[in-house]
Amino acid sequence: MASTFVLLLITLVVIGVLKIVSVLHHAYFYWKNKGVPYLPNSLSSFVTVWKVFLGYITFADYCEYVYRYFPNAKYFGGVDFFTPAIILRDPELIKDIMVKDFEHFPDHRTFVDEKVEPLFGKNIFSLRGNRWKEMRNTLSPSFTASKMKFMFDLISKCSHDFVNYLVNHPELCHTIETKAVFRRYTNDVIATAAFGISVNSMKDQDNEFYIRGIEATKFSSGLLVTIKIIFLRACPWLAKLIGLTFFPAATSKFFRKIVGETINARETQDIVRPDMIHLLMQARNKDSASASKMTLDDIVSQAFIFFFAGFDTSSTLMCFAAHELAVNQDIQDRLREEIQQHLAEGNGEISYESLSKMSYMDMVISETLRKYPPVIFIDRLCTKEYELPPSQPGCKNVIVKPDNVLMFPVYALHRDPAYFPNPDKFDPERFSEENKDNIVPYTYMPFGHGPRKCIGNRFALMETKILIAHLLQKFTFKTVEKTVEPVVYTKKEFTLQPVGGFWIGLEKREP
C-alpha cells in the first residue's frame, strides 16, 4: 500500500514538473519567436523574478530592473505568472493603449476567479466587458463634485475627531507609527462614507470594522503566499472544491452581514442617504433588459473594494506625505502657511471650496504620489487583436493577441531621470503652475489613465488633504530616532512599505 502511494506521488510530481517546464518554455520563448526583446533571456533574469516572490528583493527594485533592461526599447516581452506579457516603456504607446485604442484593452487581467472569491472577483476593478461598463455607470455618480461636497462634511468630522484625540493624548505623539493610526482614520472615513456607519477607531480600538480591515489587507510576499496566488489563479475549480479563498471566511461573512443589515434597515425605515450603498440599491431595483440583475454579492463586492482600497492605499499615501513633510521642514512650513491663510479666510474652518484652492497642498500630494505611487505596475488585458509598431530599430511590428497582458511600470516611469530629474528628491515644484506642463504626458500615472482610471481617486485625495490640513493646524511633524531617510522598502510586501514602519513625532503647536 505504501509503495503504491509513493509511486503515485512520484508520478504526480513528475507530471507537475513536466507541466511547469512546458509552461515556462512557452512563456519564455513566446516573445523570442516574435522577434521582440524579451525577459528573461538569461538565467539571472529568471532568478530575479523568483527573488521577488520569495522575498529576497523588493517589487520596486524589480520594476526598475526590468524597466532599465532595454533602455532603448518602446516595449519588451516578459512573463506574468507564466503568461506572456508586454512591458511598455514608451509614453506615446501607453497613451494609445490606455486611452486612444481603449476598446482593444478595456479589462484588467484576472487576479482571482469570482466563483472562488466573489468578494474580490465581482468588484468594479475585476469586472470585464459590459458588466464593468454597467457597474462603472452605476458607481460614477458617487464620485461627482456634488457627492464629494456632500461627503466632505462626513470626512471632515472624522478628521477633526482623529486630530482632537491626538491633541488630548500627547503621550501617543512623541514617537508615532503613522500607518497604525492613519489606518484608523481611513477606516472611520470608509465606514461613514460607504456604509453609513459611524465608528471612532481611536476611541474604540478593537471595533470589528477595523479588525476586518487589517485581516483583509494583510498581504506579504514569500513562498507560501506565492504558491497560494498561483494556485488560486491556475486551478480555481480545485481551490473552490477544497475551500481555499484569498480572504479569511470571517471577513467575507462580516461584509455580507454589514451590507445586508444596512440595506434592510434603509428599506424598512425608508432611509435615504446619498452614498454608494444607496446608488447600488437603486441599480438593483431598476428593471432593465440590457443590464445584468444586481445581486447582494455584487453590492457587497463594490462596498468591499472601496473599503479595501481606501483602508490601506489612502493611509499609505498619508504616511509618505507626513514622512516627507517631517524630513523637509521648509516644505512643511510653506504648506502650513497656505493652510493658515485659508483657515483665516474661513473663520477657522476648512471648507470643500477652500481645500480645492490649496495649490501648494496639491503640489505636495502630487509629488508624494510621484515618488511613492500606490501601485508599482498597472495592467491591461488585450481583448481584440492589436498591432504594435517595432519595439526598436531592426525589429518588426508585433500583433498583440487577445488574452495577452500589457504591463505599465509606474514606479520606474516616476523614477526615470529623463522625465523627473533628480528623481529621489522630494520636490513639489515639479507640479507648480509654471512646471507641470513640462511633465511628459503619460509618464505620471499614480491612478492610471483613461476609462479605467481609478474611480475613487478624488475621494482618496480629498480625505488625505483634509487630514494633512487639520494635523498641520495643530502639530509640527518632526523626525525622530526611528525615522529612516531615505526610506528603505521591506521585501515582504508587494506594495511600497518601509522596513519597520513609518515613524515620526507630532509636536503640539501653540494656539
- How far apart, in whole angstroms, are the C-alpha atoms of residue 159 and residue 350? 11
**Alpha-carbon gap, residue 461 to 406, rounded angstroms:** 27
* Triad 52, 27, 92: Cα angle to 5°: 80
- Three-class SS state of 377: coil
Contact between 259 and 280 under an 8 Å Cβ cutoff? The reply is no
**Residue 173 · residue 166 · CB < 8 Å:** yes
Nearest Cα residue to 448 out of 193, 125, 25 = 125
Q: Can you tell me the distance from the alpha carbon of 349 to that of 332, in angstroms, rounded to the nearest whole number?
A: 20
Q: Is 319 annotated as a binding residue?
A: no
Q: Which of 478, 477, 484, 509 is nearest to 499 (CA)?
A: 484
Contact predicate 115/236, CB 8 Å? yes
Which residue, among 450, 506, 447, has the nearest Cα to 166 in the 3D structure?
A: 506
- The residue with cell 498583440 is 400
| Integer Rg of the chain from CA | 24
Element counts in the chain: helices (H) and strands (E): 20, 9
Torsion sign, CA atoms 331, 336, 339, 344: negative
Cell of 418: 529623463
Contact 143, 150 (CB under 8 A): no
C-alpha dist (Å) from residue 113 to 195, 217, 232, 321, 436: 25, 18, 8, 35, 40
C-alpha cell, 472: 498641520
Return binding residues for heme.
454
